[in-house]
A and B are shown apart, each in its own frame.
Chain A
């Protein structure tokens, strides 16, 4: 028997007290599902999670924002299509495009919202096999210079859960070529494309690298015992990365 428990209590944050000063907002829309999970991941990383409500009109002095997964507005009309009009989204778009370059991470439905809000190019359509798919997914970190990936090594493979119905990333060829040329493809699916995404793209960033969106769920791979294979914590790097960014490390 290994002496460490199979499931531990929270690992302590990567650097302790100063991190708690970092305020990371997690947005909840009606129908958001993974908001508490994203907030937990923030806490596990040592930062302070701040609840944001879609109808809020201020960003509550947060240093970064996570738009979590779920089915906001039931995916009605089109995933993310209604949420992008939320009052808070206007603030987030402005802050992301400002000189301050607010770090923004969109996970799953959050990624869909970011594309609808035109912070990221392309869009997601129904998986090519037409089914919801939940599985542990290997991703290659293609770009480790963004606000959310700088704690990873370039070319590193990580395993995080994937779970969605509309996860097939599409964009026109010109956009795809531009993403590739500028190194904005942040994550690529490894070990088989799970949904027909163009060029195996799992996640992308904007040119400034402060806005990242991906379909898989790093916030579900941050605690031993609750992630892939019961032990996986590969998702922690996202949160360590943004703390590096905020604390001026990278």
Chain B
């Protein structure tokens, strides 16, 4: 909190509980710390006196939007409520812990979570994005798991806006610089450019980890007399108040620069911390563990204590500092990275210290678990915090914020692309269609993302069975059996802007489809809900609708939400970002040997299109390219998604298909080009028959973004079996072409033939052109 004056800092130094009780009328800078009047009044009511400076620091940061979910909590409940027993059967740990845990079988469990680091990544792209990775990875370690991969869904402003290059270079280098140094393969993500994100880029980070069932650890401080230890990096002045200040307010040009509030990462320290923690887990040396993320020691002490069975007493002067001038309040709020807090039983203290010494990790014993039910924090022996930890960690304010469907929503939905001004001159001739395909594949959102992904290590660990640009990232968990997981993240802000309820469902449907396309069985969901200000009733409506839609869809698809994160106040002035619920789906393979890649490989295999195509161009990449956004989002048909998923999973398991690629943004045109460029293997494709069957023209067939579709390549020997399976399930399927390795072109017969070199040049040049 850069704005705190020296005077108030000194007030923190001397402000004991005793002093607070004796001086009830002292004015505290609660507004500067982001609390509202009613919230401050609540703190006073909870304590029965004014808070001390240190207590105020804790409440302000823990009751911030970022830590307390005060605006979204009432709606997020649906993720816990709309769950059947069947959906719970593989959930070992649900929402509320650092990350949810799902049973993989054979004694293995997997934990994954997606989080935002949006505001810090705009202020300081490199450090913001880097520490986003660091934070989510520590969440995974906190569960007792070894982190095994990361993914990064990104959304930046217009590709040609001068500030986009700053954010792009910084964020990508930060994700790479941090993630690569941890030895975690980056296996996928998303990259979307849209001017709506110009002042509010989205940098989300997902991490996945694996563990044996017996290694699952929870964040609680139990066992009277157990010791509380802080270990890892020293506590410094970086990121002080970051959680409450950055995540709770919108950027406003009149306020001073917030640069000092962004944390600075040290990936080497984190890598050592990972190995050190895994050794602690292996030796069963910790009773409870919690990472220090947003709200630092405030969060770790209050959460550990409130989840435990007693209380906790710690001496704050025992915290190892980088900067000895830090005040108690600053120490409590600091978001210095690469720190963990653990609860260790007295008999394990020596063994714990031996592990720390081996890895040369600094630690300090802060205090112990008590039986008082109170969280007591002392400063040189004097009590500066005396609170019920639940009131800090869990009983923060909850707002039922007013929400209202925007008045403009009807007009927006009525403004369809077909027949609009922007639709004038829709490509129709063979030549125009070819130019349209090339334009689409070179466009910022559909172009090759190699410029980004080549800056990430996808190999380290030796277990990466698939990575971007395949539909899902696939990681082997068990080297003996091939047991593994698939992960995909998806969101379409334009769809969700047109229709928040269905847009959120479409995000889930696509991630689900991507996982199934890879051959994995979808099992669990994590979501990162990126929205504007909840104090705007229209935004609040978008949020409420998106959560309702997503939770309904999870129920229908039978996969539970196991954790996630909400990022609000993503707006500049009064203009919010498109509502962007990024949905991650985790799937399971009994044997990753069966994973299905997206590229064609074998000459002569038949190409089939699964599903039917309707005229759904509203919100599409094509409409976006023509500068149009309006109309209805593509129809959601979750039953069909499920059927399609079953076909893709069965076909993979039974060896009926050699490649599969889902149809989503950019429609059939994008899928065909991507499948051919993946292994530089062309195809001959005939579309007339399927266009006639579906009653659409070729342009619509190529560019419509109807859901529930995929293309697969089938060996000749499997065609009968594959057709029979689709027929038995009454799922529409059509043979549209043949893989042609020698042709060197994507030949849309009767229309045009596009040499792969030409497609590649269009597809791969865009990011290099803009970012060097």
Contacts and interface: CB of A to CB of B under 8 A. Distances in A.
Nearest to A28: B275
A71 B271 CA distance: 10
Contacts of A131: 173, 176, 454-455
Interface in B455-509: 455-466, 476, 479-480, 482
Most chain A Cβ neighbours within 10 Å, of B462, B464, B595, B602 = B462
Given A1-B658, A1-B717, A7-B482, A31 B460 contact: no
A134 B718 contact: no
B459 A217 contact: yes
B593 A6 contact: yes
A5 B656 contact: no
B604 interface: no
B374 interface: no
B360 interface: yes
A240 B171 CA distance: 41
B191 interface: no
B457 A134 contact: yes
Nearest to A135: B454
A34 interface: yes
Interface residues of A, number: 38
A109 to B, nearest CB: 11
Contacts of A134: 453-459
A7 B593 contact: yes
A220 interface: yes
A101 interface: no
Contacts of B480: 9
A15 B593 CA distance: 25
Interface in B251-309: 266-269, 271-272
A225 B465 contact: yes
Given A30-B359, A31-B181, A70-B183, A6 B594 contact: yes
B177 interface: yes
B180 interface: yes
A223 B458 CA distance: 15
Interface string A128-161: 0001111100000000000000000000000001
A47 to B, nearest CB: 16
A73 B271 CA distance: 10
Contacts of A165: 177, 180
Contacts of A69: 460
Contacts of A90: none
A33 B593 CA distance: 25
Contacts of B593: 5-8, 225
B462 A163 contact: no
A34 B454 contact: no
Interface string B632-662: 0000000000000000000000011110000
Given A7-B595, A31-B181, A37 B461 contact: yes
Q: Of residues A8, A40, A223, A230, which shows the largest number of chain B Cβ atoms within 10 Å of its Cβ?
A: A230
Interface in B332-358: none
A220 B459 contact: yes
A209 B457 CA distance: 30
A7 B465 contact: yes
B460 A37 contact: yes
Interface string A92-121: 000000000000000000000000000000
Given A40-B462, A226-B463, A76 B268 contact: yes
A5 B596 CA distance: 11
Contacts of A133: 454-455
Contacts of B438: none
Contacts of B482: 7, 9
Contact of A33 (B359, B460, B658): B460
Contacts of A75: 181, 268
A131 B168 CA distance: 13
B360 to A, nearest CB: 7
Given A5-B593, A230-B597, A34 B173 contact: no
Contacts of B631: none
Nearest to A33: B183
Interface in B151-182: 173, 176-177, 180-182
A226 B458 contact: no
A217 B461 CA distance: 12
A63 interface: no
A226 B183 contact: no
Contacts of B359: 30
Contact of B272 (A31, A132, A220): A31
A71 B267 contact: yes
A2 B657 CA distance: 10
B271 A132 contact: no
Contact of A71 (B268, B458, B459): B268
B268 A74 contact: yes
A217 B269 CA distance: 24
A36 interface: yes
A234 interface: no
B715 interface: yes
A33 B454 contact: no
Q: Which of B453, B465, B602, B679 has the most CB of A within 10 A?
A: B465
A97 B267 CA distance: 34
Given A1-B655, A7-B593, A163-B457, A132 B180 contact: yes
A33 B176 contact: no
B460 A163 contact: yes
A74 B183 CA distance: 12
A34 B463 contact: no
B592 interface: yes
A31 B594 CA distance: 33
Nearest to B456: A134
A31 B271 contact: yes
12 contacts: A7-B476, A7-B482, A7-B591, A7-B592, A34-B460, A71-B271, A73-B268, A76-B268, A131-B176, A132-B173, A134-B453, A226-B476
Given A1-B718, A163-B460, A220-B460, 5 more contacts: A71-B268, A74-B269, A131-B454, A134-B457, A226-B476
Smallest CB-CB A-B distances: 7 pairs: A74-B268, A33-B183, A7-B593, A5-B593, A37-B462, A1-B655, A220-B459
Interface of B: 173, 176-177, 180-183, 266-269, 271-272, 359-360, 453-466, 476, 479-480, 482, 591-595, 597, 602, 655-658, 679, 715, 717-718
